[in-house]
Chains A and B, each alone.
Chain A
Amino acid sequence: DVKVTQSSRYLVKRTGEKVFLECVQDMDHENMFWYRQDPGLGLRLIYFSYDVKMKEKGDIPEGYSVSREKKERFSLILESASTNQTSMYLCASRPEAIYEQYFGPGTRLTVT
């Protein structure tokens, strides 16, 4: 079974802190994605990566950056967390564009 894991299920951070969310997949997938999910807004793509060290902005990249130094790991970075970044963050991976995405369990981030 494909496994996508995220470093934390719940996280509470203060405004202005630097936050790292990590995602690891164990199936050698090329593509990895970070989404945030908010009530009424659905799943919105923040960034995605189609190869090591390659990244592209999604629909809402402002306030975020990403890092993909190794194929299995895709990190989302909040340089200076703000309260409007309180959300559920979901990581996903897939082998190639023709296949479905596999999601991690999600990290519920609260910024106070």
Chain B
Amino acid sequence: EDKVVQSPLSLVVHEGDTVTLNCSYEVTNFRSLLWYKQEKKAPTFLFMLTSSGIEKKSGRLSSILDKKELFSILNITATQTGDSAVYLCAPNPPRGGSNYKLTFGKGTLLTVNP
């Protein structure tokens, strides 16, 4: 069965710190990996990573995928209190067949204190 493990499960930092969130997976075949941020309501999409070794950036957030070692990291630099959220990762299945579902990790709860 496919498995997605995120670490750490929770993290408390101060504003201005840099954090690295990890996502490792045991998915035999996937097209891409997705990262989401979830505050008090629904998850919102952050990144979709399709190629190994190519960093994607959005402001203070960046992410990279290693398909060989089966993991991804999400970096947040100069954290702000607004970054406090649960961060979720999910390998995206290949197109075709009935394998349409995403398997989400349990998430990392990030708390940024002022």
Contacts and interface: CB of A to CB of B under 8 A. Distances in A.
A50 B100 CA distance: 8
Chain B interface size band reads: 20 to 34
Interface stretch (A13-21, A65-73, A75-83, A92-100): A92-100
B92 A41 contact: no
B74 interface: no
Contacts of B105: 42
Given A42-B88, A97-B31, A98-B92, A104 B107 contact: no
Given A41-B106, A97-B31, A106 B100 contact: no
B53 interface: no
A65 B7 CA distance: 33
Nearest to B35: A100
A74 B14 CA distance: 42
B interface, by DSSP: helix, strand, loop or mixed?
Answer: loop
A100 B94 contact: no
Contact of B42 (A56, A98, A103): A103
Given A48-B100, A103-B42, A106-B42, A98 B106 contact: no
Contacts of A43: 43, 88, 104, 107
Interface of A: 4, 31, 33, 40-43, 45, 48, 50, 56, 58, 90, 96-106
